[in-house]
Structure 1
Amino acid sequence: MPYSKAHKDKTREKILENSFVLFATKGFEGVTIDELMKDCGLTRGAFYAHFASKAELYREALKYRACSTKLANLKPDNTSNRQWLSLLLNAYLSLDHVNGERTLSCPLAFLAADINMQDDTIKTAYAEVYYGMNTAILEYAIGYCDCDEQDVLSVTAMMIGAVAIARTLQDKASIDNLLCACRREAGIKLGGI
């Protein structure tokens, strides 16, 4: 008896989630299909029921994770754009995010060093996620501050870079200082949030 669509979808999500974590910690080259499927408790054959290649999985895992970040969530009705952007900024530039809490991990920061070594389709997916992040932040910011696309581009680049750099630092005080400085600068650029 064939598996139901719901079962197939759940299996695909499990593969995407586990692969993002492995790619974020080991990079594209450091992860094998066998290792990934073992981590999921599945067979290698199950991989090919969902993906044609590891590169396709990498691209899809990047997009999947981007859709499950806090920024991709809808703003609660009782929250102003300014409050929501402040919450997003504080969550993104936080120690929990740097440490890789699964619900916060942004693929832009966690795959930043690895993405340049990938093919053009993966780079395109990364760029689409980046542009989506900029668009979302600009839409929230336009309602209350006098910032433009250039301001948002500089803020998002700083945010992504700060988390990527903070993940390499060993000293908690240095990480806290970096995140605090970037929260302050981003807040200034985005209308004093």
Structure 2
Amino acid sequence: MRYSASHKLETREKLLQSSALSAKRSGFSTVGVDALMKAIGLSGAAFYSHFSSKDELFTAIVERELSQSLERLGGGGEGEQDRQRLQRCLKHYLSMTHVEQPEVGCALPALGAEIARSDEQVREQAQLWICRLHERWAQILASDSLAWSILAQCVGALVVARMLVTPDIQQAVLKSSHDEIGRQMAEPR
């Protein structure tokens, strides 16, 4: 039976969404094609009508997830309103909710190590979106180096907090990172 073009696009979107959640929760390399397809109610053979390889799916996941992060965290340009919005976003980013629910948060802390071990195409896609986020933050903060510093601080703090077991220590990592970012943002540029 032949499916419509819209059905194929809907299935592809379901596969991307389901695979991204699975990857951020458990890692991308740990799940096979059959399991990814079973999660959306299809056979493993159907995978190849959407992607030529699992690496191509991972590239699409990285693009989708990081473009969504840019939408959520990027702000609109310059000005005090964007700076305040960025501060609110960073507070939410450095939260226990984000630590405890990696599947609904930013892909960088959850998939960063896998992206770093991936082929050049995946890393280029990640670089493109990370640089776009950095550019937006650099505009808002009026500082190229501060934007890189805050980006690295946020991702690193989340990775460290997720590695820890005790909620009080996790919260201390998040709070100290948030406080330091606040101090850096308050310094005149």
> Which bin holds the TM-score, normalised by the shorter protein?
0.7 to 0.9
C-alpha distance in structure 1 between counterparts of 2:23 and 2:108, whole Å: 12
The answer for the alignment partner of 1:179 in structure 2 is 174
Q: Is 2:155 aligned against 1:160?
A: yes
Letter in 1 for 2:145: Q
- For the 8 Å contact 2:161–2:170, the answer to whether it is kept is yes
The answer for the alignment partner of 1:145 in structure 2 is none
Report percent identity of matched pairs.
30
Q: Secondary structure at the match of 2:12?
A: helix
- For the 8 Å contact 1:23–1:58, the answer to whether it is kept is no
- For the 8 Å contact 1:81–1:141, the answer to whether it is kept is no
Task: Give the total of aligned pairs.
Answer: 183
- For the 8 Å contact 2:24–2:103, the answer to whether it is kept is no
C-alpha distance in structure 1 between counterparts of 2:102 and 2:169, whole Å: 19
The answer for the alignment partner of 2:107 in structure 1 is 107
C-alpha distance in structure 1 between counterparts of 2:75 and 2:133, whole Å: 14
- For the 8 Å contact 2:75–2:86, the answer to whether it is kept is no
Q: Which runs of 5+ in 1 are unaligned?
A: 143-147
Of 92-101 and 162-171, deviating more is: 92-101
- For the 8 Å contact 2:22–2:103, the answer to whether it is kept is no
Q: Secondary structure at the match of 1:41?
A: coil
- For the 8 Å contact 2:116–2:123, the answer to whether it is kept is yes
User: In the TM superposition, what whole-angstrom CA distance separates every residue of 1:66-87 from its partner, at most 9, and x where no partner exists?
Assistant: 2333x414759xx911221111
Query: Cα gap change, 1:149/1:48 in structure 2, threshold over 3 Å: closer, same or farther?
Result: same
The answer for the alignment partner of 1:127 in structure 2 is 127
The answer for the alignment partner of 1:151 in structure 2 is 146
C-alpha distance in structure 2 between counterparts of 1:109 and 1:160, whole Å: 5
Deviation for aligned residue 1:4: 3.2
- For the 8 Å contact 2:115–2:123, the answer to whether it is kept is yes
C-alpha distance in structure 1 between counterparts of 2:158 and 2:129, whole Å: 16
Of 3-12 and 81-90, deviating more is: 3-12
Structure having the higher helix fraction is 2
User: In the TM superposition, what whole-angstrom CA distance separates every residue of 1:144-180 from its partner, at most 9, and x where no partner exists?
Assistant: xxxx111111110110111111111111001111111
Deviation for aligned residue 1:137: 1.7
User: In the TM superposition, what whole-angstrom CA distance separates every residue of 1:75-111 from its partner, at most 9, and x where no partner exists?
Assistant: 59xx9112211111111111111112644x1111111
- For the 8 Å contact 1:108–1:129, the answer to whether it is kept is no
- For the 8 Å contact 1:17–1:65, the answer to whether it is kept is no
TM-score by length of 1: 0.85
Query: Cα gap change, 1:135/1:75 in structure 2, threshold over 3 Å: closer, same or farther?
Result: closer
The answer for the alignment partner of 2:13 in structure 1 is 13
Deviation for aligned residue 1:128: 1.8
- For the 8 Å contact 1:112–1:164, the answer to whether it is kept is no
C-alpha distance in structure 2 between counterparts of 1:48 and 1:125, whole Å: 21
